Amino acid sequence: MVLPSLLNGMRTRTAEPSGWVLDPGTQFLQDGNVRFRVWAPFSPRAELVLQRDGEERIRMEKERFGYHSKTLSAKEGLRYVYSLGDGKMRPDPVSRCQPEGVHGPSELANPNSFRWSDSGWGGVPQKELLVYEVHVGTYTREGTFESLIPRLKYLVNELGVTAIELMPVAQFPGARNWGYDGVCMYAPQDSYGGAFGLKRLVDECHRNGLAVFLDVVYNHLGPEGNYLGDFGPYLSNKYKTPWGPAINYDDAGCDEVRRFVVNNALYWIVEHHVDGLRLDAIHGIFDSSARHILSELGEAVHRMESVLGRKLHAIAESDLNDPKVVLPRERGGYELDAQWSDDFHHSLHALLTGERFGYYQDFGKLGDVVAALRGGFVYDGKYSNFRGKTYGASSKGLPAERFVIFLQNHDQVGNKPDGKRLSALVSPSALKVAVALLLLSPYVPILFMGEEYAETAPFHYFISHTDPWLVEAVRRGRVEEFAAHRWEGAFDDPYAESTFESSKLNPQLREEEGHREVFHHYQEMIRLRKAHAALRSMNRDNMEVRMLEESRVLVVRRWEPGEEEVLMVFVLGGERVRIDLPLDHGWERIYSSGGEVSSDRGSPPRGSLDLPPYGIAVFLKEG
């Protein structure tokens, strides 16, 4: 988004080709000087404290609306803090680099130092997205951005995904964290490799044809190292979130807070070349303004899309079951590109595992899976026992590409006491039928790292806070959360380094018996999705879903007019089944996990299909 206020004085700055510059923050000017600008309305005066040849204090010039600025000669690598009127020394709220962590000084980083090689990159269309979620710290032994690079060819050429989604990378306390405790929203985590490492990873992803999504947290800030409240009214006690004070989007001083957040979204896109943002837990974003912050952010991203000439995405993690999230702005919506459908996961998980803890109590019937396949939402205005109220609204008329679905993700695995993955909870056959439903559906699928070969390592919740009181508070919070959901069992200490280490992947499992078969199944489902027009299509109007409830069978028919038709049979129960199918001449079986088809004589012929427990059969008819 190019705003007039962001372009003031642009002739003297080194701007990105997009014309966008980060302001407030630090800008390297064409005359070799650097402009420092900070929003600190709580401070009547501010000083820039430079760490060169000792400590050098420089009084900043006060501007309107609580801004302070100073232009001077400075070089990349210089460390600095801001001294506020009460004598507090604080890192830059818009710091690009925190080499000593969240409590240390900021480091001056020139965004133009990195030489990109992705000028021809145009992004990945929404309908081609097949996303792979990664936690940087546990995906490899090294746990860095650059250590992911050797895995990219595997993800593209062997598995077949088209995008990776990084869990939050904004600077958090310590070296071990999921990332949702980030407090320096513009500084890529130093223990992961900082800005250079992230840029190199993104550049290599684009070289290999992979889009990059970044998980960003605009609903709260972490508790440790959160110094924004010393600068201005970034936070508000007007609303309550599960994580502490809400970000101030609609109270006094919110204009500059909103600018801070929208700038952050554009910063990752412009300076780090990311292709999309996954907006964390938007149900924790509270805004009663005439224009919601999500609408403003989405519009900014889409304007930048036209400026940069590459496809960008803004996707919401939402359990609101509210079509407003993706509806056009002229219809009162936020016009984001897609939102998560938790109901797809919940319905399949509850059916296959038998779990009824927490929100799973609302699910467990085959009809829930049918509803999720047909509509994206199961709770679309129905009464929810878990919530104790009528919940959700109809998604009728929304395109399928507006929904993101999954079998597993960091939340669904890591927010349970044992951190077990789906492959540890169900049989290999049950896992395979779930995978087929995920990847042969018309929605945007997300895979969680390691699930493609049935990784055995759990994924636990872990932290490395430095405040002992806070560590103990996290431990207590986990106990209370598990009790509230009636999840039983012991859990590993989130602060222990062993909890983090046990969550690291073991990619060599992919070659071992059992794991190899699961991996080949993922490969084949992805191949089928890409190879057939009826399965690539995201037109829900060209899909029929029927169920045989007694035998726990789903029959899904998808077609692309004039090209092909696909008929799929899924057994979601533990009994062998035999059903009759209307298979006339021209049908070919293109996949089966077992079972036989025999054609009866007559006109037209019919197919009698025999399938084992959790069996799958896929038939194709061309023309």
Place 71 in a pLDDT band, splitting at 50, 70 and 90.
Answer: very high
Q: How wide is the angle at C-alpha 292 spanned by C-alphas 286 and 295, nearest 5°?
A: 130
Contact 432, 518 (CB under 8 A): yes
Do β-strands 184-188 and 25-28 pair in parallel, antiparallel, or remain unpaired? Answer: unpaired
Distance CA 426, CA 62 (A): 62
Burial of 511 (0-12, 13-18, 19+ CB in 10 A): exposed
- 4-107: which CATH topology? Immunoglobulin-like (2.60.40)
* Other C-beta atoms lying within 10 Å of the C-beta of residue 237: 10
* Other C-beta atoms lying within 10 Å of the C-beta of residue 591: 18
| 605, pLDDT greater than 50 | no
Give the pLDDT confidence score for residue 17 in this predicted structure: 65
Distance CA 502, CA 518 (A): 22
Distance CA 587, CA 618 (A): 10
Distance CA 559, CA 534 (A): 5
Of 228 and 16, the one with more pLDDT: 228
- Calculate the alpha carbon distances from 357 to 349, 389, 488, 539 in Å: 11, 18, 9, 34
- HSE, CB side, 13 Å, CA atoms: give it for residue 367: 4
Tokens of 545: 């879903």
Question: Which residues lie across from 276 on neighbouring strands?
Answer: 213, 313
Distance CA 60, CA 444 (A): 49
- Calculate the alpha carbon distances from 98 to 81, 214, 231, 310, 326 in Å: 11, 19, 18, 30, 35
Distance CA 188, CA 186 (A): 7
* Residue of 101, 102, 108 lying closest to 75 (CA atoms): 108
Question: What does the pLDDT look like over 248-287, one tens digit per residue?
Answer: 999 999 999 999 999 999 999 999 999 999 999 999 999 9
Question: What does the pLDDT look like over 536-559, one tens digit per residue?
Answer: 999 999 999 999 999 999 999 999
Contact 221, 179 (CB under 8 A): no
| 596, pLDDT greater than 80 | no
Tokens of 388: 């104790």
- HSE, CB side, 13 Å, CA atoms: give it for residue 579: 25
| 491, pLDDT greater than 80 | no
Task: Tell me the residue length of the chain.
Answer: 623
Do β-strands 106-107 and 79-83 pair in parallel, antiparallel, or remain unpaired? Answer: antiparallel
SS3 (DSSP) at 366: helix
Of 420 and 477, the one with more pLDDT: 420
| 41, pLDDT greater than 60 | yes
Tokens of 34: 């650097």
Burial of 18 (0-12, 13-18, 19+ CB in 10 A): middle
HEC states along 255-292? Answer: HHHHHHHHHHHHHHHHHCCCCEEEECCHHHCCCCCCCC
86 is catalytic: no
Please pick, among 280, 287, 335, 343, the residue that the annotation labels catalytic. 280
CB neighbour list of residue 252: distance below 8 Å, 6 or more residues apart: 233
Superfamily of domain 542-622: Golgi alpha-mannosidase II (2.60.40.1180)
Give the pLDDT confidence score for residue 601 in this predicted structure: 38
Give the pLDDT confidence score for residue 86 in this predicted structure: 81
Distance CA 476, CA 573 (A): 39
Residues of the chain with CATH 2.60.40.1180: 542-622
Question: What does the pLDDT look like over 576-593, one tens digit per residue?
Answer: 999 988 787 889 999 998
* Residue of 227, 574, 615, 180 lying closest to 415 (CA atoms): 180
Burial of 578 (0-12, 13-18, 19+ CB in 10 A): exposed
Mean of the per-residue pLDDT values of the chain: 92
Distance CA 95, CA 186 (A): 6
Q: What percent of the chain has pLDDT over 90?
A: 84
Question: Which residues lie across from 560 on neighbouring strands?
Answer: 564
Which residue is it, tokens 């103990």? 472
Residues of the chain with CATH 2.60.40.10: 4-107
SS3 (DSSP) at 526: helix
Question: Full-prediction pTM beyond 0.85?
Answer: yes
544 is catalytic: no
Place 623 in a pLDDT band, splitting at 50, 70 and 90.
Answer: confident
Give the pLDDT confidence score for residue 151 in this predicted structure: 98
Give the pLDDT confidence score for residue 482 in this predicted structure: 72
Place 56 in a pLDDT band, splitting at 50, 70 and 90.
Answer: very high
Distance CA 485, CA 362 (A): 13
Please pick, among 271, 317, 337, 401, the residue that the annotation labels catalytic. 317
Place 295 in a pLDDT band, splitting at 50, 70 and 90.
Answer: very high
